[in-house]
Structures are given as structure tokens and as C-alpha cells.
Amino acid sequence: MTVNIPVLKEVTEANSMLADVLRTRFAEQGVFVLDLIASPGAGKTTLLERTIEGLDGSVRLGVIEGDPHTSIDAERMSAAGVPVVEVNTGGGCHLEARMIQSALGQLGADDIDALVIENVGNLICPTGWDLGEDAKVVIVSLPEGDDKPLKYPMGFLAADAAVINKTDLEPYSPAEVETMRENALSVNPDLEIFEVSCMTGDGVDAWLDWIRGRVAEKRARQG
Ligand SMILES: Nc1nc2c(ncn2[C@@H]2O[C@H](COP(=O)(O)OP(=O)(O)OP(=O)(O)O)[C@@H](O)[C@H]2O)c(=O)[nH]1
Ligand SMILES: [Mg+2]
């Protein structure tokens, strides 16, 4: 049945219009906005915890946590010491711009340098929805298999950067970091790639440098 396709197009167009309004607002405020997308369990929240710890207050972060049902990740962010707003999608597989607009009212985004949005765990649905972000980052963890960039190319095509997480598990997994990297770059040669272990901290410094750079760039373009 194709009956829903025009309706979906209208909905995504309305979403894109609102995302542009949000983007203008973020530009005026000089706030860098990141949309984190990944499969469930790839390590989005753990990377955020590492990021908050590593930046150590040098970048003021705010977080919007997209979760189908629970407040588990929002509680982890509160425990990590950053302002957070939880958005429960009621089982929905992605966040939309109207949800970000509504969450911003509660977050008080005037006092932050960067807003990180943890999208709902899913490598497909979140890729087609503009949230007014500056960059999408796709996280893929090694145990998911090094063929995932090839099987789910949309997330890698939509992203500016890819984080290959759980590199500490390479000795125990048939998947290889190098093959994951090659596959990601074969889908999108422009991807900036970070190989990290959120468990050991390996590779996290390069990721932190990238965030600091993007935040500074955004601030310099403010207005
Ligand atoms: N071995 C290892 N485990 C990790 C690493 N990063 C995260 N984990 C573990 O992976 C599991 C899932 O991590 P989360 O950060 O909750 O994953 P998520 O992507 O936020 O998951 P959802 O929000 O449910 O989609 C947790 O048990 C983490 O401790 C890593 O680098 N190495
Ligand atoms: Mg999470």
C-alpha cells in the first residue's frame, strides 16, 4: 500500500521547516548541536558520560535524552552532572523537531555551549529527521559486526562523524576495527572516524578534541 507516502512527505517537510527555525535559534545563541544515532546498546550514553567527564566543565553541555519508555538514561545524565530533559516517544523509533522544541523550553538552553541529543536507539528511523543539528554522529560498536556500515548505510551517509566503540572487545570478536573503518568510509568517504573504547578510555581524547573544535567554530560564527 502506498497510501501513506504523501502523508509522510508532508510530515517530514513540516519537520524540516521547524528544524530550520531551531537551527536559526541555535545560530543566534552560538550553541553547537549534535544528534547521536546508533543501535540500542552501541554506547551512546556511555560515550556521553565519558565526554562529560573528559570535558570537565570546559564546555557547558546540555542533553536531550530520547528514550522509548524509560528515564534510565536521563538519570545517568543527571548523575553525571549536566542539565537533561527526557523525551519519551511512547515506543516511537526516532525524535522529531517538535519534540526538541518542546524539550528546549524545559532545558534552559541559554546557558550552554553545546546541546547533545541522544536519539532513540535505532540505525534507520532517526536518519531522515532533521532536528536542527549541526552534525549527526553515528556510533557503531564492534560486537554488532563490521558489516553494519554496509547493511545500514543511511546512518553513515547522514553522519559527519562515526565513532567505532568497544574496541577493547576486538580480541574476543570476529569483527575487526580496520574492516569496520573501511566499510564506513566506503559508504561515506567524508566521515571523520574515531576508534574508541568507552570502557578503557582509549581514543576518547581525539573525540573530545573534535567536540571542542566544533563548539569553538560555532561560537565564532555566532549571530
Ligand atoms: N566492553 C565495552 N562495553 C561498553 C563500551 N561502551 C559501552 N559499553 C557497555 O555497553 C552497554 C550499553 O551501553 P549504553 O551506553 O547504555 O548504550 P546506548 O547506546 O546508550 O543504549 P540505548 O540508549 O539503550 O540505545 C553498557 O553495558 C555499557 O557499559 C565499551 O567501550 N566497551
Ligand atoms: Mg542510551
| Consecutive H or E run containing 156 | helix 153-158
Q: What are the pocket residues of ligand 1 if the criterion is a CB atom closer than 6 Å to any ligand atom?
A: 38, 40-46, 73, 121, 165-166, 168-169, 197-199
Calpha distance 185→192 (Å, rounded)? 9
Compute, in angstroms, the gap from residue 116 CA to the centroid of ligand 2.
12
Compute, in angstroms, the gap from residue 44 CA to the centroid of ligand 2.
5
Compute, in angstroms, the gap from residue 217 CA to the centroid of ligand 2.
27
**What are 170-213's pLDDT values in tens digits?**
999 999 999 999 999 999 999 999 999 999 999 999 999 999 99
The pLDDT assigned to 84 comes to: 97
**What are 137-182's pLDDT values in tens digits?**
999 999 999 999 999 999 999 999 999 999 999 999 999 999 999 9
Amino acid code (one letter) for 87: V
Q: Which residue, by CA, sits nearest to atom 14 of ligand 1?
A: 43
The pLDDT assigned to 110 comes to: 73
Q: Which residue, by CA, sits nearest to atom 30 of ligand 1?
A: 166
Q: How confident is the model at residue 7 (pLDDT cuts 50, 70, 90)?
A: low
Which CA distances in Å does 205 have to 8, 15, 194?
40, 35, 10
SS3 115: strand
Calpha distance 190→185 (Å, rounded)? 7
Nearest ligand to the CA of 37 is 1
Nearest ligand to the CA of 74 is 2
